[in-house]
């Protein structure tokens, strides 16, 4: 709360959520003095920094830029205990992503720093990307493109033979593991395609698009394609492993644009090598960037691999900046915060 004085804000953006986007979103919301800092992501991968995960390795730069700032708006800034100790003026951190995994929440509480986040910013983008992954995996689009565009080969016509041709979404039994902001959008689009949509999510009640299936095992047994949309928690880590993949019908397709650790990659590679799973499309991985030693690289004819691009759309960056700016404005006016964890 600022008691009517101008707020000093550090817009610690990156090459996706540009500092200028944060500044522009703040301008109509409240009078403030904005300092801009550009962190390296996604050109430089995120990773663990001190005691936080998925952050840019930029503690020193953040500490220097935060001098005198009351508010930090960031996506990848490492809000560690060291940063908090060094920035006594800081009162509010707004993280432009679905969860503040780059913030030490316990330390923030001890320093009386409020921490907010931007839920739902990338739900539409990730849902659309998921549908794209499904179509790419079902119809071998990337493999056919690679043969023709990169190798000047018409060998992709092999995918027109009955043996190698793909499946259609229409009438396909598709199982959704999770039905949150992304999963529910995917379900609506799949229904429009005419897919036979089934959903397993023990935490969602009320009306859904598709058939509710109470047992994950039953969902897997009935699904020719599964797409994963569960939240990553200690309980869901490794949710789809060797046992679960074995329950799928032979030749099933697996899609994951949620969190990498939800899916056992080694078990998936085993299932792809035996042919029990015919193809897979992955946007997230247990370790990111995906190591060159990953077995997935050797399965390029059966997998679609993208480097965590599900949320990579310009509207996502703009939405995130707008959500963050509205939260800063509420804080400055002393109003209740909409998405606050501390």
pLDDT at 43 over 60: yes
75 and 21 Cβ atoms separated by less than 8 Å: no
Residue ranges matching CATH 3.40.50.720 in the chain? 7-121+313-332, 123-305
What is the token pair recorded at 240? 């789809």
In whole angstroms, give the CA distance from residue 165 to residue 226. Answer: 19
Q: What is the mean pLDDT of the chain?
A: 96
Record: fold of 7-121+313-332: Rossmann fold (3.40.50)
Positions annotated as catalytic residues are: 259, 288, 308
227 and 198 Cβ atoms separated by less than 8 Å: no
Indicate the helix (H) or strand (E) that contains 59: helix 59-65
The model's confidence at residue 342, banded by pLDDT at 50, 70 and 90, is confident
* Per-residue pLDDT tens over the stretch 65-111: 999 999 999 999 999 999 999 999 999 999 999 999 999 999 999 99
Name the CA dihedral angle for 209, 214, 218, 224, rounded to a multiple of 10 degrees.
Answer: 20
Average pLDDT of the segment spanning 234-255: 97
In whole angstroms, give the CA distance from residue 249 to residue 233. Answer: 27
pLDDT at 2 over 60: no
DSSP 213-273: -S-HHHHHHH-SEEEE-PPP-TTTTT-B-HHHHHHSPTTEEEEE-S-GGGB-HHHHHHHHH
The pLDDT, as a whole number, for residue 6 is 86
Nearest in space to 121 (alpha carbons), one of 280, 326, 323, 298: 323
β pairing state of 52-55 and 47-49: antiparallel
Give, to the nearest 10 degrees, the angle between helix 181-193 and helix 123-139: 50
Residue 282's SS3 state is strand
Looking at 3.40.50.2300, 3.40.50.880, 3.40.50.20, 3.40.50.720, the CATH number of the domain 123-305 comes to 3.40.50.720
pLDDT at 1 over 60: no
Widest CA span of the chain, in angstroms? 71
What is the token pair recorded at 204? 């969602």
In whole angstroms, give the CA distance from residue 63 to residue 37. Answer: 11
Average pLDDT of the segment spanning 143-160: 94
Nearest in space to 227 (alpha carbons), one of 181, 174, 270: 174
pTM exceeding 0.85? yes
CA 159 to chain centre: 31
- 171: exposed, middle or buried (C-beta count within 10 Å: 0-12, 13-18, 19+)? exposed
């Amino acid at each position: 709360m600022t008691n009517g004085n101008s707020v000093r804000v550090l817009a610690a953006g990156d090459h996706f959520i540009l500092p200028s986007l944060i500044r522009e979103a703040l301008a109509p919301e409240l009078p403030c003095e904005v300092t801009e800092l550009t962190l390296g992501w996604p050109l430089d991968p995120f990773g663990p920094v001190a005691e936080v995960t998925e952050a840019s390795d930029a503690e020193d730069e953040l500490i220097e830029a935060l001098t005198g700032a009351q508010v930090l708006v960031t996506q990848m800034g490492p809000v560690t205990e060291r940063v908090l100790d060094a920035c006594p003026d800081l009162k509010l951190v707004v993280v432009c992503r679905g969860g503040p995994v780059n913030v030490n929440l316990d330390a923030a509480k001890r320093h009386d720093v409020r921490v907010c986040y931007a839920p739902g910013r990338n739900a539409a983008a990730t849902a659309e990307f998921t549908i794209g992954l499904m179509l790419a995996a079902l119809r071998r689009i990337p493999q056919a493109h690679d043969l023709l565009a990169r190798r000047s080969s018409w060998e992709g016509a092999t995918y027109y033979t009955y043996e190698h041709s793909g499946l259609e979404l229409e009438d396909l039994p598709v199982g959704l593991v999770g039905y949150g902001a992304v999963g529910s959008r995917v379900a609506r689009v799949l229904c429009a395609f005419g897919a036979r949509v089934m959903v397993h999510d023990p935490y969602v009640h009320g009306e859904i698009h598709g058939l509710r299936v109470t047992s994950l095992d039953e969902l897997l047994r009935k699904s020719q394609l599964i797409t994963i949309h569960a939240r990553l928690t200690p309980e869901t880590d490794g949710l789809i492993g060797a046992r679960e993949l074995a329950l799928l019908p032979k030749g099933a397709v697996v899609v994951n644009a949620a969190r990498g650790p939800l899916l056992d990659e080694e078990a998936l590679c085993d299932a792809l090598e035996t042919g029990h799973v015919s193809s897979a499309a992955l946007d997230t991985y247990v370790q990111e960037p995906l190591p060159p030693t990953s077995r997935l690289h050797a399965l390029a004819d059966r997998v679609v691999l993208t480097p965590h691009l599900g949320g990579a759309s310009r509207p996502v960056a703009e939405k995130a900046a707008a959500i963050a700016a509205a939260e800063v404005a509420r804080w400055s006016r002393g109003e209740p915060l909409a998405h606050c964890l501390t």
